Amino acid sequence: GAGVSQSPRYKVAKRGQDVALRCDPISGHVSLFWYQQALGQGPEFLTYFQNEAQLDKSGLPSDRFFAERPEGSVSTLKIQRTQQEDSAVYLCASSHRGRNTGELFFGEGSRLTVL
Amino acid sequence: QKEVEQNSGPLSVPEGAIASLNCTYSDRGSQSFFWYRQYSGKSPELIMFIYSNGDKEDGRFTAQLNKASQYVSLLIRDSQPSDSATYLCAALYSSASKIIFGSGTRLSIRP
């Protein structure tokens, strides 16, 4: 596609529910990132993939968060047993370079609200 | 201490004036620095990047980097109302996998 596509755009979950957020990067982009952005804050790094390899997951806040990119293209961020503090916009970004150069193309984000 | 720090603002600048946005970073190994613009309710978009000490100009935008002081800035000349947005400073950490963002500075250009 022309840009990074994320779905769903909006998700309301009850506390304790599991959610899955999908990211479809720009075709051919090797690197893929997930960020969490709370209201009024900058994006917080969660995890980074190069092709199907998850090279850095140091930003995942707990073991309830899991990300995968099994075929090196589409990625899914899964949050188990959601908590209210998980409410945020989850941004996916991709980069065409194998080595991360910081030139990221962001999707529109998935806004998660946990009640 | 946050890894990338910015004044949250809001910074209010009259139309036509120069807007100056500042950022400091903690990792001396960081090599690359970026300014992203984020309109309300939208996702960030890259407007400038800088790797070397000194100034880099692109149209109305000038990025400045001082690695000794661990300081990055963005100047916007001839500010327009369409420049009103949150500006995010970001650093590519020396591990070359993480891109760390600051909390952003809200800029408002008043007519």
DSSP B54-106: EEEEETTEEEEEETTTTEEEEEESS--GGG-EEEEEEEE-TTSS-EEE---EE
Instruction: Provide the pLDDT confidence category of residue B90 given band limits of 50, 70 and 90.
Output: very high
Interface A–B counts its CB contacts (< 8 A) at: 60
Instruction: Provide the pLDDT confidence category of residue B9 given band limits of 50, 70 and 90.
Output: confident
> Residue B95 pLDDT more than 80?
no
Read off the pLDDT of each residue in B49-77 and give the average, rounded to a whole number.
95
B11 CA to centre of own chain: 13
Residue A26 forms contact with B (CB below 8 Å): no
Q: Please indicate whether, in this complex, the C-beta atoms of B34 and A100 are within 8 angstroms of each other.
A: no
Q: Which residues of A touch B45 (CB under 8 A)?
A: 106
Q: What percent of chain B has pLDDT over 90?
A: 77
Peptide bond connecting A8 to the previous residue in cis, omega within 30 degrees of 0:
yes
> Residue A103 pLDDT more than 70?
yes
Instruction: Give me the sign of the Cα torsion angle B3, B47, A112, A8.
Output: negative
Q: What is the pLDDT of residue A102?
A: 67
Instruction: Provide the pLDDT confidence category of residue B16 given band limits of 50, 70 and 90.
Output: very high
Among B40, B89, B98, the residue to mutate for chain A (most A Cβ within 10 A): B98
Instruction: Provide the pLDDT confidence category of residue B61 given band limits of 50, 70 and 90.
Output: very high
Q: Report the half-sphere exposure of B78 (CA within 13 A, side-chain side).
A: 3
Burial class of residue B41 in the structure, from the number of CB atoms within 10 Å of its CB (0-12 exposed, 13-18 middle, 19+ buried): exposed
Q: Please indicate whether, in this complex, the C-beta atoms of A45 and B99 are within 8 angstroms of each other.
A: yes
Q: What is the pLDDT of residue A2?
A: 80
> Residue B94 pLDDT more than 80?
no
Q: What is the pLDDT of residue B93?
A: 78
> Is A26 within 8 Å of A94 (Cβ atoms)?
yes
For chain B, give the number of residues. Answer: 111
